[in-house]
Chains A and B, each alone.
Chain A
Amino acid sequence: MNLMHYWRAMWGIIGRELWRFITQRERFISALVRPLVWLFVFAAGFRAALGLAITPPYETYILYEVYITPGLIGMIQLFNGMQSSLSMVYDREMGSMRILMVCPLPRWFLLLSKLLAGTGVSIIQVYVFLIIAWFYDIQAPLQGYIWILPALVLSGLMLGALGLLLSTFIKQLENFAGVMNFVIFPLFFMSTALYPLWKMKESSVLLSKLAEYNPFSQTVEMIRFALYGQFDQHAFLYTLGAFSLFMAAAILGYNPSKGMMVKKGGPN
């Protein structure tokens, strides 16, 4: 086993994911339509919703559309992470997972490659979304568009690892609706993607606490600061910690002798 093998395996996985993404035009469009509907329809109705306080990284008054843009970037990556977990379940059902797993490379490496592939796809979606938002007059400082890239890599990996972890619990594709109800919705709505913490505190302290500890909030804040050329250390460390935790659990979960699949009686 030398580095070449690792390289080839990783490119194989990433290439397959990218190819899948490019050929599935519907998937690309639907991945973009979701945040754009939120931006053009939902946010438009709440233009003045944020009221007074100016909170960092913003230095002046902003429209609601500007506020939720980082949240919608998080949403793109969240759905993308869940989608790749869905494809893992599909791969498992179709048997292509077995081919991947018999590859004589460490399992963690294969899973990480899979994650990187998913993250790459989500980053392409995010940049296309940001270009559209630019023409809708949501414009960040130019250097923000470079700063956001490392933030997107980490947040993509974190949300992908979460998806990967979830996929160890899901035995069949049909169970994905459960993921929607029990994971995506609470993660998204109980976060700072749609409302800032101070606004939540006005109505419920408990809700604001939940949102504060929600890793999705922290990843959204990391993206928000990066988009304005700033580094939010707390959010970065929180996201990094969450990624390590989810990744370790996912690797364990995919262990054939001890993992979740064994407990569930293995794949059909």
Chain B
Amino acid sequence: MMSTSLKWLLLLSLISTAHAENVFVTLEKDNALAIVDPIEGKLLKTVPVGQRPRGIALSPDNKHLYIATSDDNTIKVFDANTFKELGKLPSGKDPETFALNPAGDKMYVSNEDDSLVTVIDIKSKKVLKQIKVGVEPEGITVSPDNKWLISVSETTNMVHWIDTKKNTIEANTLVDSRPRAASFTADSQQLWVTSEMAGTLLIIDSQSKQILKTVNFDVPGITNDKIQPVGVIIDKDRNKGYVALGPANRVAVINAKTYEVEKVLLVGQRVWNLAFSPDQKRLYTTNGTSNDISLIDLESQTVTKSVGVGTYPWGVVAKP
């Protein structure tokens, strides 16, 4: 009797762990990956991944985890369940940020020092092309309809629209100073770009490639020079967008219809990158200098917990 109930309990715990959501965070200074249970709000473990890990992404089937280990000059592929290293991708020098196409078979890497975007075929692990872009490319993203690859040049202050079929720049949009990150709306109709120095968020129309709206941020009690927007993310219904405001230690909630800043939420220090939970009910932030991530409940729009993860958390992604 006892043993059967114990078996059930074990089985139940196995099922529940199999379904538990995990949040993966790259730790730039610890050369490791932190694995967090966002429901319990607990750090589960950290595993070593390579030198100076920054950019992170999951394959569309959630089986593979890609991590840009900048000082190893490569992007490593890990098994997303066992964290075993499966291989390396030829990313070029000092990879920081990268993006996958929706099918998950191509990867685009920003090579900041060489002003290049490297196109990699994931299956064959071969470089397909290197595209010359503006000085210091940083933010990179692919539109959900797979039409456009966006590369953002920090020093040239430009958004490059690259045709994903031809791998050539088709158009450019001049933006505010030091653009950092870019993100498409789920319908691919808008591109949201943050400018770190200008302290603005630009909303660009994908058709005309013109700026529709410039959003300014104002945080009571925080001087404007501290407002340095970086990570940007928009929910799938295009109701709300979220922008990490860097050293202002806040995440701004933006109404994606009126472009008004509805709220600013206090998180840890120098908030950098953002990720949704798979069901988009929560938002996770990496707080670079306070060494933790903040968990935000999106329904109540409140920060529920901040969990210490390790030194310099950089990138974040959630796996169902």
A-side residues, CB < 8 A to B, are 44, 47-48, 52, 54, 59-63, 139
Residues of B contacting A139 in the complex (Cβ-Cβ under 8 angstroms): 302
B-chain residues with CB within 8 Å of residue A48 when the two chains form the complex = 221-222
Whether the Cβ atoms of A61 and B221 lie closer than 8 Å is no
Contact of B304 among A44, A59, A62 (CB under 8 A): A59
Q: A236 → chain B, closest Cβ, in Å?
A: 25
> 8 additional contacts, CB 8 Å, given A44-B221, A47-B220, A48-B221?
A47-B221, A52-B290, A59-B304, A59-B305, A60-B305, A61-B267, A61-B290, A139-B302
Q: Name the one of B221, B269, B304 contacting A60, with C-beta atoms under 8 angstroms.
A: B304
Tell me the nearest residue of chain B to A59, going by C-beta: B305
- The reply to whether B267 and A60 contact each other, CB–CB distance below 8 Å, is yes
B290 & A59 in contact (Cβ 8 Å cutoff)? no
Q: Tell whether A60 pairs with B303 under 8 Å between CB atoms, given A47-B221, A48-B221, A52-B269.
A: yes
> For window 262-320 of chain B, which residues contact chain A by CB distance below 8 Å?
266-269, 290, 294-295, 302-306
Please state if A61 and B294 are interface contacts (CB–CB under 8 Å).
yes
Closest residue of chain B to A64 (Cβ to Cβ) is B221
B264 CB to nearest A CB, Å = 11
> Could you say which interface size class chain B belongs to?
10 to 19
A9 to chain B minimum Cβ distance, whole angstroms, is 47
In the complex, what residues of A have CB within 8 A of residue B304's CB?
Answer: 59-60
A192 to chain B, nearest CB (A): 21
Question: Contact between A61 and B220 (Cβ–Cβ < 8 Å)?
Answer: no
20 A-B residue pairs with CB within 8 Å: A44-B221, A47-B220, A48-B221, A52-B269, A52-B290, A54-B306, A59-B305, A59-B306, A60-B267, A60-B295, A60-B303, A60-B304, A60-B305, A60-B306, A61-B249, A61-B267, A61-B268, A61-B290, A61-B303, A139-B302
Q: Are B266 and A61 in contact (CB under 8 A)?
A: yes
Which B residues have a C-beta under 8 Å from some C-beta of A? 41, 220-222, 249, 266-269, 290, 294-295, 302-306
By a CB distance below 8 angstroms, the chain B residues around A54 are 306
Shortest beta-carbon distance from A175 to chain B in Å: 42
CA distance A52 to B220 in the complex (A): 19
- Contacts A47-B220, A47-B221, A54-B306 known; A63 to B266 CB distance under 8 Å? yes
Candidates A44, A59, A62; contact of B266 at CB < 8 Å = A62
Question: Which residues from B are CB-within-8-Å of A52?
Answer: 269, 290
Q: How far is the CA of A61 from the CA of B306 in the complex (A)?
A: 7
Which residues on the A side are within 8 Å of B267 (C-beta)? 60-61
Contact residues in A for B303 (Cβ distance below 8 Å):
60-61
User: Chain A contacts of B306 at CB under 8 A?
Assistant: 54, 59-61
CB contacts (< 8 Å) of B294 on chain A: these are 60-61
- A54–B303 Cα gap in the complex (Å)? 13
- Least Cβ–Cβ distance between B32 and chain A, in angstroms: 22
The 3 closest A-B pairs by CB, nearest first: A60-B306, A47-B221, A59-B305
CA distance A63 to B290 in the complex (A): 16
Q: Which residues of B contact A47 (CB under 8 A)?
A: 220-221
Question: Residue on B with the closest CB to A62?
Answer: B266
Closest to A52 in B: B290
Q: In whole angstroms, what is the CA distance A242 to B205 when docked?
A: 66
Q: Give Cα distance in the complex from A243 to B294, angstroms.
A: 40
Chain A residue at minimum C-beta to C-beta distance from B303 = A60
The CA-CA distance from A139 to B303 in the complex, in Å, is: 12
| Residues in B neighbouring A60, C-beta threshold 8 A | 266-267, 294-295, 303-306
- In the assembly, what is the distance between CA of A62 and CA of B306, in Å? 11
Q: What is the distance, in angstroms, from A133's C-beta to the closest C-beta of chain B?
A: 15
Collect the chain A residues with CB atoms within 8 Å of residue B41's CB.
Answer: 59
By a CB distance below 8 angstroms, the chain B residues around A59 are: 41, 304-306
Instruction: Give CA–CA (A59, B294) in the complex, Å.
Output: 10
Minimum C-beta distance from A48 to chain B (A):
6
CB distance from A66 to the nearest CB of B (A): 9
- A54 to B290 alpha-carbon distance, docked (Å): 11
Distance from B112 Cβ to chain A, minimum over Cβ atoms (Å): 31
A59 CB, min distance to chain B CBs, angstroms: 4
Q: Once bound together, how far apart are the Cα atoms of A60 and B267, in whole Å?
A: 7
- Roughly how many angstroms separate A61 CA and B302 CA in the complex, as a whole number? 11
Give A88 to B306 CA distance when docked, in angstroms: 48
Closest to A47 in B: B221
Give the docked Cα–Cα distance between A60 and B304 (Å). 7
Kindly state the separation between the CA atoms of A61 and B294 in the bound complex, as whole angstroms.
9
